[in-house]
Structure 1
Amino acid sequence: MKFKPVILFVFVWVVGSSTLVHAQQVPFTLEESVAYALENNVEARNARLEIEAARGLVGERTAEGLPQINANLNATKNLVVPVTPFPAIIFDPEAPEGEFIGVQFSPEYTAGLTATVSQMIFNGSYFIGLKAAKTYRQLAEVDRKYTELEVIENVKKAYYSVLVSREREALVRANLSRIDTLLKETEILYEEGFAEKIDVTRIRVQHNNIQTELDKAETASRISLRLLKFQMGLPQDQEINLVDTILAMEALLDAERLLLEEGERRIEIDQINTNYELATLDLKNNQIQYMPRLDANFTYQRNSFGGNFPGLWSGEWFTGSVLGVTLQIPIFDGFTKKYKIQQNRVQLRQLEVQKESLLQNIVVEKYQARQNLVNSLKSLEVQRENRDLALEVYDMAKIKYQEGVGSNLEVVEADSALKEAETNYFSALYDAFIAKVDLEKALGILN
């Protein structure tokens, strides 16, 4: 009985420790978030599973060219043994002509053991199908890379969204703190007769409005964080801490270098090229269907007969075997292959048109993404200057009010302008990062 308190203490400590570990915040930089998402995002995981399925398809097509061996064991009982008519004169020379008697040729019980081996000797479709399976595996690899690019894009944008949402929340909190201080100072001045009731009411209205904005900002931060966890493939109950800040990452824009980048071949082109190769193989497969197919086969069998079931297995077994080849020559299929070939050629032309359209679209995307980044950077510079000016105006309005040469209305308006300028600055900074991601994607260098 004395060991129970010790056991209870250990149990509580273990449970508490595991809960604490789970509740701890896991730090994530932007690069770590992307790396985690590439391993745990649902779409990325499914893309890797598709590659495994493609490898299985290659193995399946390869196995079709190997010997196929099957064995069958059967036992039957003739409930009613069929009767075959025979002329009676065969068994009785004195029987009248035209008289027949029934003879049972089948035994009541039969058993058979059969083993067959078949080997494909020539089948043009087999080799084309094997190559098509390998090409399909290449397509799965290309699709995986495309999926990973989408995951990287979504995670980066979600990460930036969380950072900006938190900065906005911090701005509203700071604004609320300034207004709260101003409200207390004005209430004191009102009590001492140096301010009017309308001054207190005006600031209180502003205070209430900012409190509402803070609630909205907190909600936006939580939603953006949940979206980031979803894009990363992270459990929603896992607490995380984003190490980077939006201001610290501003130096990583590196826009001048990016605007001069020519880019690399887009993964979408590899997708179309691989699909074109698959369509070409499908065309060849339908064309080669006009050629004959040659297979070799061997059959070995053992049969037994008896009048009862136990005697069926203890009686004599009779052996037989067959070796042969089968040549299948296609003659007429109602023009089925002809129309399949026609569809294949149309599909190839469609893929050529898609590739031409994609190349033109990529040129447009690059130009548009570059212009968006340029405009975003210009807007960022303007909003940065506006923020600095708004802060300067607020400081002067506050000093004038404290010295008694300005009104609290000026302070309220300056504070509102400062909040708006700071919000616009971070919105412009977010837009610049999004434009950077879009340009990297258009250039084919997103990683």
Structure 2
Amino acid sequence: MNFYFKAKTIRLLALCISLLLLAPVLVFAQTGITNQQSNAEQNTLANGTLEDIIQYAMKNQPLIQQSIIDERVAENTVKSKLADWYPQINFNYNLQHNFLVQTSVIAGNPVKLGVSNTSAGQFTVSQAIFNRDVLLARRTKGDVLLQANQNTSFNKTDLAVNVSKAFYDVLATTQQIRVSAEDIVRLERSLKDAQNQYKSGVTDKIDYKRAMISLNNTKASKKSNEEILKGKVEFLKSLMGYPLGNELKISYDSLQMEREIALDTLQAPEVTSRIEFQQLTTQKRLLESNLKYNKMSFLPTVAANGAYNLNYQNNKFGDLYVNNFPNSFAALTLTLPLYQGGKRKANINSAEWQVKRVDLDITNLKLNVNSEYTNALSYYKGSLANLLSQKENVDLAKEVYDVIQLQYKSGIKTYLEVITSETDLRLARINYYNALYQVLANKIDVQKALGQLNY
């Protein structure tokens, strides 16, 4: 019994130790599963506003990720070029067997120069003192990194504009579907009233059929917009880098959007605030550095170098590494190209033309910015006027519909007039929402032209 009790105690103790040892593993595994679930949740949006969708696109759009990778590549390329400023240390090894040793005649006597087996080990060190390639890398380091960052900003700005317009396009179609759904409810009620009046003998079947035609047309329009919406949502998801097969739900506040349509139309475009201008400015500085680089091609390249050589020689291969005849040296090397057939002058001329060309690009951008702003502002003002008109039309169409509906029930108006007023109301509401989202899209174009959309 005592032995059985001890054995049971030992097994229990071993089980406890095993659980203690496995606990961190189990916790780590659970944490990994939780992190995976969290990452999966982060890859989708529950109810994304426009700002949420833009931020999601900035993190997940492949083009933006590629731009960020380009920044990392640029950083490492600069580091690679600047590494040439540091001492360069190398080791070379050589093992050679001479089947026929070179012979030379000295004082009329043939003398063999060398032995059958040689081996050498060489340690070399060099330090650049003046090298125009390395000097260019050091001078342009900041601009190269800035250029990569500006390319990312340009892609982000362009993406934000496209995502915003696609978002408003989805909303416009969504609102059309919602309006159609509300109209279907109203038309079904009108159809039921027309059926009852027809059955009671108050009206003929013309009203009933007209109600049916209007209802069928509205249902067809709703179905068509639902199919169109699928394509527009997929396009928005593609711009965002949204996972395939996952549902995208968007959130919006129409009243808030109405408050956001206001824009100061007295602003003047500042070309310096445009990312395109900043890119051209950086490009010009790089081209000016390239021009200086080509002008330095007439200067020599200077470097300090040295070496320590291990020389092993012996006619017997087994005794090759018995005797060593080392040597070492230190030197200062100056390389000056004297004549290259006019190559350096041609490179300088080419670099100068590139600088002049980018100046014309900057001038052209200034002209385009002014034209772009004027056009964007014109479209914004036109769509804003249309929005105000459509908003008034909605109120008028609603009032007309309510009056005609009452008059029809009183037997004053015909059902054709009811259908006409319903159609006018539906079109007025759809036109209003289309105008609202068009104003917001045009506002984005104005802000882009002003250089206010920078990421």
TM-score (norm 2): 0.85
Q: Which residue of 2 aligns with 1:320?
A: 327
**Conserved in 2, the CA contact under 8 Å of 1:23 and 1:238?**
no
- Answer yes or no: is 1:436 the counterpart of 2:443: yes
Of residues 245-254 and 418-427 in structure 1, the stretch that sits farther from structure 2 once superposed is 245-254
Higher alpha-carbon deviation: 233-242 or 68-77: 233-242
Post-superposition Cα deviations, 1:32-75, rounded to whole Å, max 9, x if no partner, equal 22222222222222222222222112212211111111111222
1:153 and 2:172 equivalent?
Answer: no
User: Any residues of structure 2 matched to 1:119-198 within 5 Å, and which?
Assistant: 119-198=127-206
Cα distance in structure 2, aligned partners of 1:22 and 1:33: 12
Give 2:408's aligned residue.
401
> What CA distance in whole angstroms lies between the structure 1 residues aligned with 2:239 and 2:371?
28
Instruction: Report deviation, 1:149.
Output: 1.3
Q: Which of 87, 98, 105 is the aligned partner of 1:67?
A: 87
Give the root-mean-square deviation of aligned CA atoms. 2.7
- TM norm structure 1: 0.86
Deviation at 1:116, TM superposition (A): 1.0
Rounded Cα–Cα distance in structure 2 between residues aligned with 1:270 and 1:27: 36
Q: CA contact under 8 A between 1:160 and 1:246: conserved in structure 2?
A: no
Kindly indicate whether the alpha-carbon contact (under 8 Å) linking 2:91 and 2:124 is maintained by their aligned counterparts in 1.
Answer: yes
Contact 1:199 1:408 in 2 (8 A): yes
Distance 1:123 1:24 in 2: 52
User: Which of 307, 311, 317 does residue 319 from structure 2 map onto?
Assistant: 311
Query: Quick check: 1:377–1:432 contact (8 Å CA) kept in 2?
Result: yes
SS of alignment partner, residue 404 of structure 1:
coil
Whole-Å separation in 2 of the counterparts to 1:65 and 1:56: 15
Q: Which runs of 5+ in 1 are unaligned?
A: 1-10, 91-100
Q: Which moved more, 1:138-147 or 1:303-312?
A: 303-312
- Contact 2:61 / 2:240 at 8 angstroms: preserved in 1? yes
2:382 is aligned, of 369, 375, 378, to 375
The 10-residue stretch of structure 1 (291-300 or 51-60) with the greater mean CA deviation from structure 2: 51-60
- 148-157 or 398-407, larger mean C-alpha shift: 398-407
Letter in structure 2 aligned against 1:197: K
Tell me if structure 1 keeps the 8 A contact 2:44–2:242.
Answer: no
**What is the CA–CA distance in structure 1 between the aligned matches of 2:62 and 2:43, rounded to whole Å?**
24
Match of 2:47 among 22, 27, 37: 27
Supply the distance in 1 between the matched residues of 2:108 and 2:162 (Cα, whole angstroms): 94
User: For the Cα contact (< 8 Å) 1:44–1:147, is it kept in 2?
Assistant: yes
**Matches of residues 203-352 of structure 1 in structure 2 within 5 Å?**
203-255=211-263, 258-264=264-270, 265-307=273-315, 309-313=317-321, 315-352=322-359
Among the aligned pairs, what percent are the same residue?
29
Letter of the 2:100 counterpart: V
Q: Structure 2: where are the runs of 5+ without partners? A: 1-29
Q: By how many angstroms is 1:84 displaced? A: 2.8
Distance 1:115 1:162 in 2: 68
Aligned length: 419
CA distance in structure 2 between the partners assigned to 1:46 and 1:338 by the alignment = 38
Distance 2:169 2:320 in 1: 80
Q: Cα distance 1:403–1:22, how it changes in 2: closer, same or farther (>3 A)?
A: farther
- Cα 1:66–1:82 shift into 2, 3 Å: same
| Compared CA separation, residues 207 and 310, structure 1 to 2 (3 A) | farther
Cα pair distance change 1:210/1:308, threshold 3 Å = farther
Structure 1 residue 405, shift from structure 2 partner: 2.5
CA deviations 1:256-294 (Å, max 9, x no partner) are xx2133354212111111111111111110010001111
Match of 2:362 among 352, 355, 360: 355
Match of 1:7 in 2: none
